[in-house]
Amino acid sequence: MVSTDNPAMNDHSPPETEAPAADNPSAAAPSAQKPPGKIKNEPITITLHSTQAYNLYIGRPRTSDRRGFIGLEQFSHAVAGIADHDRQDRIEEALEDAQERISQIKAQINKSFAHNHLAGPTTAVSESPAEIKVKLSNRLAHRGAQLLMEYDSAVRRCIILYKLSVHNSKEHGKMIHTLSKIVRRAYFSPYLTLPEIVDGQKSVSAATGEDTTSPPAPGESSAAQD
């Protein structure tokens, strides 16, 4: 057996190895993975081509010489604060009724197109439509947005009939006014379903959804408003 005076050659101990990461304070600790945050209510984008629809989005405050009306913005805020299921059901019924009435008017418009053998585009398109990002509070607010887009579509079809001289100015104005009245009434439903209003203690126009006083907040009584 060959022997050597070199101690390193005679050392049969295993080679030194680096300590495991758990025992090595200099090793990088694994990053802690955080759980995801709460789900956000992301805004949706609605596209409006008509000025009439845009006006029903922003609404109009009451002035000394003009009645105001509720727009989609205020409607969405109003229904967000309503927890009573009976009131929610009545508001949904008002939205469904408005949707049905607009569908009936659109069916009449379609008959006008067919009767007059109109070709080409049947809906007017804006050169610069309004692209609006909105956060909708709940399902009623979503139904309200759908109603506004249906209204916009109906108005644009009316405009085509007017531009093609199928409807005269008076007929055109009357149809636009009827469509607007349907939506205004639906958007006023959060206030029409307040107990004070159901009992007839508030001055409102049930036919148009226009109010003669500023509407109270959804959880506020008319007595507090006075």
The answer on pLDDT for 217 being more than 70 is no
122, pLDDT greater than 80: no
Is the pLDDT reported for residue 78 higher than 80?
yes
CB-CB contact of 183 with 88 (8 Å): no
pLDDT band at 35 (very low <50, low <70, confident <90, very high): confident
What confidence category does residue 11 fall into, taking pLDDT thresholds of 50, 70 and 90? Answer: low
SS (H, E, C) the chain: CCCCCCHHHHCCCCCCCCCCHHHCCCCCCCCCCCCCCCCCCCCEEEEECCHHHHHHHHCECCCCCCCEECCHHHHHHHHHCCCCHHHHHHHHHHHHHHHHHHHHHHHHHHHHHHHCCCCCCCCCCCCCCEEEEECCCCHHHHHHHHHHHHHHHHHHHHHHHHHCCCCCHHHHHHHHHHHHHHHHHHHCHHHHCCHHHHCCCCCEECCCCEECCCCCCCCCCHHHHC
pTM of the predicted protein model: 0.70
